[in-house]
Chains A and B, each alone.
Chain A
Amino acid sequence: MPSVELSPAASRAVEAALGAGASAAEAYASRDTGREVRVHGGEVESLTAATQTGIGIRAWSGHRVGYAYGTDLSEAGVVALAARAAEMAAVADEDEFAAPPAPAPAEIEALPGLDSPSVAEWDAGRVAELALAVERTALAADPRVVGVETAVYADSTEQVAIASSTGIAAFYEAANCFAYLQALAEGEGSRETGLGFGLARGPEDLDPAAIGAEGAARAVAMIGAGKPASRSCPVVLDPTVAASFAGLIGGALGARAVQRGRSPFAGRLGEEVASTTFALHDDGRDPAGAASAPFDGEGVPRRRTALIEGGALRGYLYDTYTANREGTSSTGSASRSGYRSLPSVSASNLIVAAGDLSTAELLAAAGDGIFVTDVAGLHSGVNPVTGVFSVGASGRAISGGSLAEPIREFTIAGELVAMLRAVTAAGSETRWVPFGGSVQTPPLLVSELSISGT
C-alpha cells in the first residue's frame, strides 16, 4: 500500500484503539524503502529493491499494556489491529508505571541533515558500480588477496510517524547507507578474511577504495597467524573491537536491566566504575550518528546523556516506563527495531571520548602486549548480568611498542567494569562503527586482560 500516508494512519489507529476500549493509545507507523546490491567476481550477484510498511499499536487499559503490529494499513486493517492491541492489554498484568509519555513532551526540535537526496538520485547501476569498485580495489591491493567473499552496498530511507492519545504527533525521515566487504587472502597454507566497511547518509560520502583497501589490508595482515601464549598482558582494542564493548556497556546502562538487578552497573550511580581516561555518553542527535532522530520510539525528544565521566557513573538511559519507576524523566532512549517491536530502553549513538595519543603512540605505551582487531562470539561469550566475558579474538602481537606477528584463535577474558578501570589511554583517531549499535570510538589501551591461547 504505497499510497497510504503514515501520519493519518497513525492517528486513525489511535482513534480506533480508543474506540476499542483502550484508555490510552499510541501508534508507530513506518515505511522503509531500501535496496541492497551484492557483488561477487566482478558481477552483480543480487539486487534487491524493497519497501516495507507497517504499524505497531500500543493500547493501555489503565495500567495494563498490549501491543499489536501488522502490514495492513487500510482502515479495516488498522481497526482490526487496534482491537487486537486492546485484547492483548487485557492479558497483561497491572503495572502502575505502565503509561504513555505524558504530558505531551515539549515541541520536538527538528533535526536537519538526516535525509539524503543522493540515495534516490543514484540508480541501481551506479550503486552496483560502487560495490564493484570496493571488490576491485581489494583484489588489486595485494597479490595475496585471492578473492572477495562478498561485497555489499545497501541503503535505506526510513519514514516514521508517531501519534498518541496524549497529544504526540510527529514525523521524520532519515537515510543511511553502508558498504562492506569480506576479503579473502591466502598464504603460508592458510586462508584469512578481512572486513572493510564504511557508513554514510548518502552514497557520495562512501569511499569504495578505502573500504576495499581496508578489507584487503586486514586479511593480508593475518597471513601466517599463530596462537599467542596464555598470559595477562596489556591489550589495545582497535575501534571496531572497542565499539563492540561500548555497545555491551551501553546495554548494561539501560535502566530496565539496572532496575531489575540484571546489570553490573546496578546500584553504582556516582561510583567509580572506570579510569578517568574512559568517558562515554549517548547522543541521539549527533548529525553523524546512524541512530540519530528528532525523537525516540515513543515520541520523546532524543538528547545527549552523560553516562560515564571522570571515572564515575553519571547516569542511566531511560524510556518512559523506567523513568516512571524512578520518578525521573525519560532520556529519550526508547528504541524500536521497526514497527514489529515494542519500544524498549536502549542506547542510540554511543560516543567514547577520544584521547590524545596516535595509534602508534598507543602501541608504544602498551610495550609488549596484544592488538585486538577482531572479536567473535559476543552474544554467547558475555554475561550481560554479571559483566563477565570471554570472547574469541584475533589481531597482532605488540612487541617493543610496535606491531609484530599476527595472532589468532585465542580468547580475551575479564569483567566489564574491571576492564573499564584498566583503560589507561585512549587514541585520538575516532571512527563510527556499526557494531554494538551505532558507536563512535577511538582505539583503547587496557593495561591488563587475560589471554588464553596455547
Chain B
Amino acid sequence: MTELLDQELAARVLARALANGGRFAEVFAERRGGMTLAIDESRIESVQSGAEEGAGVRVVDGATTYFAHVDGLEPAELERAADEAAAALRAGRTEPTPLTARPVTPVPIAVAPEGVPAARKAELLRELDQRGRGVGEEIAQLTASYAEARRVVTIANSDGLFTGDDRTRTRIGVQTVARRGDKVETGAETLGAHRGFELLEDDPGLIAEQAAQKALTLLDSRPAPSGSMPVVVGGGFGGVLFHEMTGHGLEIDHIHKGASVYVGKLGEQVAQPLLNAYDDGRLPNEWGSDAIDDEGRPTQKTQVIEDGRLVSYLYDHLGAERDGVASTGNGRRESFRHLPIPRMTNTYIAPGESTPEAMIEEVKNGFYAVSFGGGQVDPATGDFVFGVSEGYLIEDGRVTSPCSGATLIGNCLDALAAIDAVGDDFFMKTGICGKGGQKVPVGTGQGHVRVGQMTVGGTAR
C-alpha cells in the first residue's frame, strides 16, 4: 500500500491540529489521477489527463467542525492546514492517541488502466462508435466517453487510526441521437466498476448497441400519459428509485436535522413485508464499493429495510458518535477538498419472488419505466421526481407503445408503501450521486419492482 505520508508526519499534523483543543482530528491525504477521452462525429477528442494531490485536515470541537485543505503533500503545507483548522479554537492542547497502522486490502484491480496504451483506449471508443452506428441508419449522432480514475488515500485520526486505500475505477458511456424526419430521440447507456481495464475485456461494444437501440425504439414513441397509475420499474438503474425515495432520507445528517420523512420511523413498518433493502459498500468490484470509507472505516453490508421494517440509518463517524452507535462505513467525500458526509455506497432492493412478466400481466393499464435519466428528492418533504429515459405503456397486461418525455413524481413514504411486487431478475448499475455539492460514485440495483400507484407526468391527455 502506498502511504502518502508517513506515520510520524501524520502524528505531528494531528498534534498540531489539536494544539488549541478539540475532541477529534483527522488528516486525509490523497493523490488522484486519471484520464478521459471521448469520440464525437467519429473523431477522438477531449483527450485529457489529470494529476492532483493534497490533504484536508479537520478538527471537531463540540458541534463544530473546522476544516482546511491544501494542495500538495509537503510537510510544511500539511502543518499549515492543521494550524488553519485549529486557528479558531481557544482551549488547551488535546493529546491524540498514538497511531497504529491498520492494514487494508484494497478492491483488487487486474489490469491497471494507466498501464494500457492510450491508443488502445481510443480504439475502444472507435469500436463503440462503429457498433452503435451499425445498429441503424437512423442513428444520426453518437458520442462515447472513456474515463479511468485512481485515488490513493491515507487517513489518520486522533483516535489512533492510520490506514489507507487504493481505488481504481473505469467507466464508459455512450449517448446516441436517432432522427427520422423531424422526430429526434436520444438513448444512453453506461458500464462502470471499481475495476481496471479488465472491465472492458468482455464486450464493451454491447452498450453502444443498447444505447442506439433505445433511441431507435423511441422514434416510434408517442407522448407519455399523465395521471396516477400502476408503474412497473425496470431492474438495475431502476434502483435509483429506492436510492432517491429512501436511501437519501436514511442518511443520518438528514435525520439529525429533522430534515427527513424517516425521522422517528426506525423499527416501523414503512413498506410491505416483501421488501428487503441494503446498502453494501463491499459488493465485489461494484462501482460504489471501497475497502474503507473516506474516514477509514471498513465498508459493510447494512440492511436498511427488513421485511418492510426500517431497521437502520446510514452513518458516518460524527453521526454515529452522536447516536452512540458504530459508523456503518458511509462517511464519503468527493476529494481531499471536501468534508466527509453520510453517503450511500451501493444501494439495492434484494431480489423478490415475482417474475417481470407476471408483474406486468397483472396491470390492467399502467406505465413501464425501464430506465431513468436520473432523479432528485427533497428528503425533508419526501417529494421526488425521476426522468424516465425509456418507458412504455402497459395496456391490458401487455407492454405496448414506447413513450417519450415521462417523469415520475411522488412522495417517498407513499410510494415505498405502494411497492407491491419485487422481481427475481436482480442486477446492478452505476450512477453518480450529488449531495451538498459533492459527487460520488454509487451503485443502484434491483429486479423489476412494481409501485401500485404513482403519478406519471407526460404531455398526452
Contact = CB atoms under 8 A, between A and B. Distances in A.
Interface of A: 1, 40-41, 43-54, 65-72, 80-81, 84-85, 87-95, 98, 124-125, 146-147, 149-150, 182, 184, 190-193, 227, 230, 232, 260-262, 340, 342, 376-377, 379-383, 385-386, 388-392, 394, 408-414, 450, 452-454
Contact of A410 (B46, B53, B389, B457): B457
B385 A93 contact: no
Contact of B50 (A70, A89, A227, A230): A70
B110 interface: no
Given A69-B48, A192-B381, A389-B405, A150 B64 contact: no
B69 to A, nearest CB: 5
B118 A409 contact: no
A383 B381 contact: no
Given A230-B226, A411-B385, A390 B406 contact: yes
B227 A69 contact: no
Indicate the size class of the contact surface on chain B. 35 or more
Interface stretch (B190-198, B268-276, B280-288, B371-379): B371-379
9 contacts: A91-B122, A125-B88, A149-B259, A149-B380, A376-B385, A389-B405, A390-B224, A452-B455, A454-B227
A149 B407 CA distance: 27
A158 B289 CA distance: 35
Interface string B104-130: 000000000000001101100000000
Given A1-B71, A93-B44, A452-B458, 10 more contacts: A45-B64, A98-B45, A232-B461, A261-B141, A376-B383, A377-B385, A381-B385, A383-B405, A392-B376, A450-B226
A259 to B, nearest CB: 9
Contact of A67 (B47, B226, B385, B404): B47
Contacts of A54: 52, 71
A92 B407 contact: no
Interface stretch (B35-43, B166-174, B418-426): B35-43
Given A230-B227, A413-B459, A147 B257 contact: yes
B51 A87 contact: no
A452 B122 contact: no
Contacts of A80: 51
Please classify the interface of chain A as helix (H, G, I), strand (E, B), loop, or mixed, using the class held by over half of its residues: strand
B351 to A, nearest CB: 26
B407 A43 contact: no
B67 A91 contact: no
Contact of B88 (A69, A87, A124, A411): A124
A93 B46 contact: no
Most chain A Cβ neighbours within 10 Å, of B258, B410, B459: B459
B49 A71 contact: no
Nearest to B74: A1
A409 B339 contact: no
B415 to A, nearest CB: 11
Dominant SS at the B interface? strand
B261 interface: yes
B257 A84 contact: no
Contacts of B226: 230, 411, 413, 450, 452
A107 to B, nearest CB: 31
Given A49-B84, A380-B375, A392-B409, A92 B44 contact: yes
8 cross-chain pairs, A with B, having the tightest CB-CB distances, nearest first = A411-B457, A380-B387, A392-B385, A380-B374, A377-B385, A380-B373, A452-B226, A452-B457
Given A87-B118, A380-B387, A47 B49 contact: no
A41 B44 CA distance: 52
A453 B455 contact: yes
A190 B72 CA distance: 48
Contacts of A381: 373, 385, 387, 407
Contacts of B45: 65, 92-93, 95, 98
B311 interface: no
Given A51-B70, A411-B409, A190 B376 contact: no
A46 B372 CA distance: 35
Given A377-B407, A411-B409, A88 B47 contact: yes
A66 B378 contact: no
A167 B210 CA distance: 47
A95 B43 CA distance: 8
A342 B457 contact: no
Contact of B409 (A53, A91, A147, A410): A410
Nearest to A43: B63
B383 A392 contact: yes
B62 interface: yes
Contact of A71 (B71, B378, B389, B405): B71
Interface in B299-352: 337, 339
A193 B380 contact: yes
Interface string B168-206: 000000000101000011100000000000000000000
A124 B261 CA distance: 34
Contacts of B68: 48-50
A290 B184 CA distance: 35
Contacts of B122: 91
B277 interface: no
A81 B226 CA distance: 53
A4 B296 CA distance: 33
B290 to A, nearest CB: 22
B71 A51 contact: yes
A449 to B, nearest CB: 10
B339 A46 contact: yes
